[in-house]
Amino acid sequence: MAEILVSYEPATGAELWSGEVGDAASEVSAARTALADWSGRSVSYRMEALRRFANEVRGRADAFADLIARETGKPLWEAKTEVASVIGKVDISIEAYAERTPMRRSEGAMGSKVTIRHKPHGVLAVLGPYNFPAHLPNGHIVPALLAGNTVVFKPSEKTPASGAMLVDCFHAAGIPEGAVRLLTGGIEQGKALAADPGIDGLLFTGSAGAGAALARQFAEVPHKILALELGGNNPIVVWGATDLAATAAMVVQSAFLSAGQRCTCARRLIVEDGQHQPLVDEIVKLIDRIIVDHPHADPQPFIGPVIDQMTAEILVDRFVGLMMKGGHPIRRLVMPYDDRPYLTPALIDMTEAKDRLDEELFGPILQMVRVPDFDAAIAEANNSRFGLAASIVTRQPALYERFFAEVRAGVINWNRPTNGAPSSAPFGGVGRSGNHRPSAFYAADYCAYPVTSVESDVARASIAEGLRDAYVPEDDRV
């Protein structure tokens, strides 16, 4: 009997979708069979196919947003922005492909030409996360297809329905079924796909722990591309800000957007000790006004539930752990229902805490650290093995310049939230936040490899050194 994977709505607990668990080897084989035809098509052909995909998603936008909202628990307004990002990714990827991987020709020696072109890797596996179940895997899939790869996509086991609809949109647009394969399943299917000898690379978005395990695994196969987009323990520094209402709004957006389930969400608020209380008061006012409700509520909520009950319970347990280490709660993490994963946003002062953990708490928890001066603020911002996003709110350009120069992160913002990274720019981090394979606009870089050719229409060659002046019979050679 076939194994069935079931998806449930976090907001209600109702069953949303079910499907048979797939087989990684079979999906990889199907993608391998389709590779020659898809990669043999012209780039123009693949561009037009992907534009049809964008139109297909556009035609299903309302239904797709409704599905994402139900399956993730995020508000409907936010799900609509995710669908818009899926659509917009096509044109951005086409622009990036032209800019990052164009054919180039230059003059070489002896009348030859030097040509640089790019080839697809082959069959690429894509492992998607649950927080953006369409947009983030799509950010790998579209540039991979554009470069001529075929793809086996395994959605998160927590959001398989959104992944299935995404793949159905590719197929409905006329992209061959073999070019984009859907692998439904859980952790075991993901491990099987990553270990399958038939893949030529893996593109992953998810936790730092899973990324580290993949890095160890792929160290044994250095000929396969591995692109890791991981999480962060992201700082937002507020220093000398005068517009407290705007600053508080930026902090709240940074920390609590998507119920804190964004890899770019601020986890640490760093403020000047003694000057912090007016800002804290403004942040608390906003926290107390945040609507936490189901995705289709009216008025629309700012955040919905986290992804599932187990995640909510783990977060509550970790918040208690922060208090046990000496954290002073300003607003507690509250789970208002015993049977549904809703959480109210939390703010906790960790200045006096001992042994602060350097980890990504993937939920609506913001830890505040008070520091005596800006040197200490920089040191605290860098007090992490992660390096994804960082932001500073200040009216002093010199402080931003220093912040930019000294802070380790792949996204560094000034007077903007930490989660303000545009798709038209590269996106990635350093340290435990990635492996120097930035995605978004730079995804083209890891979806194809460069090939250098020295070309001439006639054979021209000579040996200038190391030869005798004329032929000498063998008997006369010294």
The string of DSSP letters for 279-346 reads HHHHHHHHHHH--B--TT-SSPPSB---S-HHHHHHHHHHHHHHHHTT-EEEE------SSS-----E
Q: Where are the alpha helices (DSSP H) in 13-146?
A: 24-40, 43-59, 61-72, 76-100, 135-146
Which residues lie across from 227 on neighbouring strands? 203
Q: Considering 9, 27, 56, 229, which one is annotated as catalytic?
A: 229
Cα–Cα distance for residue pair 453/451, rounded to 1 Å: 7
272: phi then psi, degrees, rounded to nearest 5: -80, 120
Provide the residue type at 103 as one letter.
M
Q: Known catalytic residue: 82? A: no
Which residue is listed with tokens 């194809």?
Answer: 448
Residues 6+ apart with CB under 8 A from 250: 236, 391, 393, 415, 416, 417
Catalytic-labelled residue, pool 263, 265, 282, 380: 263
Task: Please state, in angstroms and as integers, the Cα–Cα distance from residue 4 to each residue in 23, 165, 317, 347, 460, following that order.
Answer: 12, 17, 31, 40, 64
**Residue 229 annotated to the active site:** yes
Catalytic residues: 229, 263
